[in-house]
Amino acid sequence: MLADRDDGTVVRHGDLVAKAHAPGTDPEAHRARLALAAHRDVGGVFLPPLPLPRSGPRALDGRPVTVWPYGPPVDPEDPDAAPWEEAARLLALLHRTPPPPGSAGRLPEMRAP
């Protein structure tokens, strides 16, 4: 288990991470955020969500479930180790990336910092 908080439960198995998102997650906002993470223009910057098998759960106890490739975390005890240059490139790419279809030209706010 990587995290078990009010905003989601995250478990790792090998190279995969599964997340049960927060109860009450807005389905439209959730789809828009996933579409952005999977957008080809931010490939190589975001870890895109992986498709769930047809037989896999889409929800667990009313909480949306997503599966992702595992990426190395930043050590919260060493903020200087954060990839600041990569974060700046990500921010620039996000500002140049059009919102995904169906988002009405606006992305929902994120639930995390």
Position with higher pLDDT, 9 vs 101: 9
pLDDT digits (tens, 9 = 90+) for 86-100: 888 888 887 887 776
pTM listed for this prediction? 0.72
Alpha-carbon distance 19 to 91, whole Å? Answer: 24
Say if residues 57 and 14 touch (Cβ distance below 8 Å).
no
In this predicted structure, what is the pLDDT of residue 17?
A: 94
pLDDT digits (tens, 9 = 90+) for 30-83: 888 888 888 887 777 778 899 877 766 688 888 999 999 998 777 878 988 888
Q: Tell me the residue range of the domain where 59 lies.
A: 3-96
Residue % of the chain over a pLDDT of 90: 19
The answer to the question of residue 101 being in a domain is: no
In this predicted structure, what is the pLDDT of residue 21?
A: 92
The answer to the question of residue 105 being in a domain is: no
Total domain count, the chain: 1
Q: Which two tokens stand for residue 13?
A: 């198995």
In this predicted structure, what is the pLDDT of residue 113?
A: 47
The answer to the question of residue 52 being in a domain is: yes
